[in-house]
C-alpha cells in the first residue's frame, strides 16, 4: 500500500525590498518621475553629443533674437546663441550644483541628527536649538547671505546651498534614531559590547536610511530652484559664459515681452525637472513606507 504525501504549497518569500519595488512599479507617478529624471540626467551626461550648436559662441550676423524655427527649435538669444543648446548644457551646471549641495546637506544632516538623537541630553538640546534658529530664517535668504559673504562662484553656491539645507535632514534622522535606539536589536548589540559608533553605523543607520533617501530625492528639486533663484539675482557663477538655467533666465529678463521664447524654455525645463524629482520622491516615500499594503 503506497503512502500519499500531502502537497505542500509554498508561499513565495517577499523581502521588504521586493515589496517596495513592487509598490514602486505599480505607481504611475513613479514611472513619470523616473522618466523625467532619466531624460534630464541623460541630457546632462551626453550634452556634447546631442547639443546642435556651441553653447557660448553666438552668431551676430543674422541669427540674434530669432523665434523658434527648424534651425533653432527654441530660438536664439540676444547674441545669436541657440537656446536649446544652452538649456541642454545648463542641465550640467544645475544638476551638478544640486547633487553636490544635497550631498553636503545630507552628510551634515545625518551626522548631526545621529549624534543628537543617539546621545540626547544637553547635546541634543543645544543642537536642536541651533537647528531651530537656522530654520527660523528663509533658506533662500540665508543662501543669499552666504553667497554674498563667500563670493559668486560655482563652488561657493554649492557650499552655501549645502550649509543651509541640512536642518530638515537632521530633524528626520534625529526622530528616527530616537525610535530605533530603543529597539531590541540595539539593546542586544549593546549587551554584546558594541561601541556607540558601531551601534550608530552598523545597526541604526541601515534601518533609518529609507526616509533619508526619500527626502534627498525631494530636496533636489528645491535646490535646483534655489540655484536658479541665486543665478537670477546675479549671484551665480562669476564666469559669465557658463550656461545654467538660472543664468539663462537672467539674460532673458530684458526680452520677456519682445522674445517670449527666451525665458519660456529654460523656465519650463526647470518646472519639469523639479516636478520629476518631486514625483519620484513621493513614489519612493509610498514604496518605502512599511505601513503601505
- Per residue in 73-95, pLDDT (tens digit) is 888 888 888 899 999 998 888 89
What mean pLDDT comes out for the span 26-43? 85
What are the structural domains, with CATH classification, of the chain?
Answer: 27-45+75-288 (1.10.3720.10)
The predicted structure's pLDDT at residue 268: 92
Q: Give the confidence band of 280 by pLDDT, cuts at 50, 70, 90.
A: confident
Q: What percent of the chain has pLDDT over 90?
A: 14
Spell out a b/e string for 25-60, using b for 16 or more CB atoms within 10 Å of the CB, else e: eebeebeebbebbeebeebbeebeeebebebeebbe
The predicted structure's pLDDT at residue 63: 67
pLDDT in tens, 199-239: 888 888 888 888 888 888 888 888 888 888 888 777 766 45
Strand partners, 82: 76
Q: What is the crossing angle of helices 205-232 and 83-119, to 10°? A: 140
DSSP state, 80?
A: S
Instruction: Check: CB of residue 113 under 8 Å from CB of residue 106.
Output: no
Helix (H, G, I), strand (E, B), or coil: what is residue 292? coil
Instruction: Check: CB of residue 32 under 8 Å from CB of residue 281.
Output: no
Quote the mean pLDDT of the chain. 82
Confirm whether pTM is higher than 0.85. no
pLDDT in tens, 95-150: 988 999 999 999 999 999 999 888 888 888 999 999 988 888 888 888 888 888 88
DSSP state, 76?
A: B
* pLDDT at 279 > cutoff 50: yes
CB atoms within 10 A of CB 192: 7
- Counted residue by residue, the chain has a size of 293
Amino acid at each position: 500500500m503506497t503512502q500519499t504525501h500531502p502537497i505542500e504549497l509554498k508561499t513565495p518569500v517577499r523581502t521588504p525590498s521586493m515589496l517596495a519595488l513592487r509598490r514602486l512599479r505599480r505607481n504611475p507617478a513613479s514611472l513619470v518621475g523616473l522618466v523625467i529624471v532619466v531624460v534630464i540626467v541623460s541630457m546632462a551626461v551626453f550634452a556634447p553629443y546631442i547639443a546642435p550648436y556651441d553653447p557660448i559662441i553666438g552668431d551676430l550676423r543674422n541669427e540674434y533674437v530669432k523665434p523658434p524655427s527648424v534651425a533653432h527649435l527654441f530660438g536664439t538669444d540676444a547674441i545669436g546663441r541657440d537656446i536649446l543648446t544652452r538649456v541642454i548644457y545648463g542641465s550640467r551646471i544645475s544638476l551638478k550644483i544640486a547633487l553636490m549641495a544635497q550631498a553636503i546637506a545630507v552628510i551634515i544632516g545625518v551626522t548631526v541628527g545621529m549624534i543628537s538623537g543617539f546621545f540626547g541630553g544637553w547635546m541634543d538640546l543645544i543642537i536642536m536649538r541651533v537647528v531651530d534658529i537656522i530654520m527660523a530664517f528663509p533658506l533662500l535668504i540665508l543662501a543669499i547671505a552666504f553667497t554674498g559673504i563667500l563670493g559668486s562662484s560655482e563652488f561657493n553656491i554649492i557650499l552655501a546651498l549645502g550649509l543651509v539645507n541640512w536642518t530638515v535632514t537632521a530633524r528626520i534622522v534625529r526622530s528616527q534614531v530616537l525610535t530605533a535606539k530603543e529597539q531590541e536589536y540595539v539593546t542586544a548589540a549593546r549587551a554584546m559590547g558594541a561601541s556607540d559608533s558601531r551601534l550608530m553605523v552598523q545597526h541604526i543607520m541601515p534601518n533609518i536610511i529609507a526616509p533619508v533617501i526619500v527626502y534627498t530625492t525631494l530636496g533636489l528639486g528645491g535646490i535646483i530652484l534655489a540655484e536658479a533663484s541665486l543665478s537670477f539675482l546675479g549671484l551665480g557663477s562669476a564666469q559669465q559664459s557658463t550656461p545654467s538655467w538660472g543664468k539663462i533666465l537672467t539674460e532673458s529678463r530684458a526680452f520677456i515681452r519682445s522674445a517670449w521664447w527666451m525665458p519660456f524654455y529654460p523656465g519650463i525645463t526647470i518646472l519639469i525637472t523639479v516636478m520629476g524629482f518631486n514625483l519620484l520622491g513621493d513614489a519612493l516615500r509610498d514604496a518605502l513606507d512599511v505601513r503601505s499594503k
